[in-house]
Chain A
Amino acid sequence: MKILVGYKRVVDYNVRIQVKPDGSGVVSDGVKLSPNPFDEIALEEALRLREKGVASEVVVVGIGPTDLQAHLRNGLAMGANRAIHVATSDAVQPLTAARVLLKLVQKEQPGLVILGKQAIDDDCNQTGQMLAALWDRPQATFASKVEIGEDKARVTREVDAGLETLEVDLPAVITTDLRLNEPRFIKLPDIMKAKSKPIEILELASLGVEPGDHLKTLHYAPPPGRSKGVMVKDVAELVAALKSKGLV
């Protein structure tokens, strides 16, 4: 079985985001970029399934500008067999990403697509569900455990009420939650090995997917701050303060 993994590059989770003074976006110059943490978990899961003999090939997919290839090399160094770079200089919203992935799914015929449940830049949490809808296949979102059987998967999902388990027929789309696994670290020899792994480049425009944004982005702003409060010296002072505000 082949597994397709979405592998997005985002601003590193440790970066303190600054909105540009003119509200046209967030500051991205010189900011550290990293793989989306949920996508690393997706790739790790795919690699483990390959190591167990469930999957035979793991393909990472990235959508973005020319310099995305260094990022895809990273996924290859982690262990993916090959990469597909869908090249575009436009920002890509979830529906476009899902349409691109659908084209790749039709071409590659994977048994499983594993995506992160959300990207930590736009926090949309949509692409996997949209792909599943367009592909007319099952979705198992927010996965914390994945077991692959004969032609089906049993997936445990982190939902508000607890842990829900679904059984889905394959092929299917799975999106990862935080506790599915802990991604491996990349070792130096693997970085060397990755240099000879293939990256296929496809122009987004050549896929027959309508480019461009669906939602118009008008303005960025910093969130309203909370004013700094007071330090109390002991429990008695805290209780008195809460009582005076009628909170206890």
Chain B
Amino acid sequence: MNTILIVAEHHAGQLNPATARCVSCARKIGGEITVAVLADAPAAIAAQAATLDGVGRVVAVADTAHTQALAAMYAPQIAVLARGFTHVLAPSTTFGKDLLPRVAALLGVAQVSDLMQVEGPRRFVRPIYAGNALVTVEVPQEQTVVATVRTASWPEAAAGAQAAPVETRSVDAALPKHTRFVTLQSAKSERPDLQSAGRVVSGGRALGSSENFRIIYQLADKLGAAVGASRAAVDAGYVPSDMQVGQTGKIIAPALYVAVGISGAIQHLTGIKDAGTIVAINKDAEAPIFEVADYGLVGDLFKLVPELTQALG
């Protein structure tokens, strides 16, 4: 029988939807699912996790050392909590990517990155080469499976009426003093979150300036969409780095993705492959983005985007 521990990701007292996606992956693996919530005040987050379909139990660990999710603090505790579990999962977000390799090394086992498909309790498919190849890997029988879950590949587990029991416990692990949180600089946005939004509008280098991104925001607001960007647009300083979509940025799976002035480098395409419908607007009819777009429109984005915003009114 598999026993699966999922490390909850949360921010400002809210469970991150990426955790619910891990639950879907865990259900595919099959077995008893426990969610671990490490926080300074875990009660409300644990209560949210307890309602997710498939979760059998929630373990809440309250400690002021968890005011910020630092891998150096979390990892020794997750390594203790992992005892008796066959699997340890976390989302393949910057939180999970930072944390789980540290946990795996403490346990002396390999880590599997970006679970896309489950072929058996220890056999998984994951992307390599920016998603241009898929590899099937198997974790040896005697090892704990430690894996990050590619969130774009899994739906959020629904919240049901039945709540799983929440158990409060403390963990006996030595916590280091060598790592200290200083600040988090986060752009306040009323727009939907890029990683969980149903609709996303992204802009590329062709926008030409931070100011010109205004037309992207206007279209996004009309659609109720989140805003993303290509690496080129981020590198050029038009938008902050947390908006980057692609191999080394965010991997997303919205129902609708609108790529504006993005040529479509393979590193960008790997971040949007799971989108339901892709729309591309670009002046270059030969741009690779049109190879993956469901609807392509060739022309001047500065004319077409405002026109589209208007037409959606």
Chain B, interface SS category: mixed
Judge whether B295 and A232 touch: CB under 8 Å: yes
Question: Which residues of chain B are within 8 angstroms of A94 by Cβ–Cβ distance?
Answer: 101, 110-111
A203 within 8 A of B: no
Judge whether B256 and A242 touch: CB under 8 Å: yes
A129 within 8 A of B: yes
Question: Which residues of chain A are within 8 angstroms of B176 by Cβ–Cβ distance?
Answer: 136, 138
- B262-279 contacts to A, CB under 8 A, are 266-267, 273, 276-279
Question: Which residues of chain A are within 8 angstroms of B187 by Cβ–Cβ distance?
Answer: 162
Residue total for B at the interface (Cβ-Cβ under 8 A): 89
Closest to A218 in B: B136
Judge whether B295 and A223 touch: CB under 8 Å: no
Task: A98 to B107: give the CA distance in the assembly, Å.
Answer: 14
Return the contact of B101 from the options A130, A164, A236 (Cβ within 8 A).
A130
CB 8 Å contact bits of A162-179 with B (1 = contact, 0 = none): 111111110010000111
Question: Which residues of chain B are within 8 angstroms of A235 by Cβ–Cβ distance?
Answer: 297, 304, 307-308, 311
**A-contacting 9-mer, from B20-28, B50-58, B164-172, B178-186:** B178-186
Q: Closest Cβ of chain A: how far from B117's Cβ, in Å?
A: 11
**B-contacting 9-mer, from A61-69, A77-85, A114-122, A183-191:** A114-122
Chain A, interface SS category: mixed
Task: A159 to B95: give the CA distance in the assembly, Å.
Answer: 8
- A63-103 contacts to B, CB under 8 A, are 93-95, 98
Judge whether A121 and B129 touch: CB under 8 Å: yes
Q: Closest Cβ of chain A: how far from B174's Cβ, in Å?
A: 10
Q: A129-B100, A223-B273, A226-B291 are in contact. List 10 more A-B contacts (CB 8 A).
A: A95-B105, A136-B176, A138-B72, A163-B185, A178-B235, A216-B139, A221-B136, A228-B291, A229-B296, A238-B295
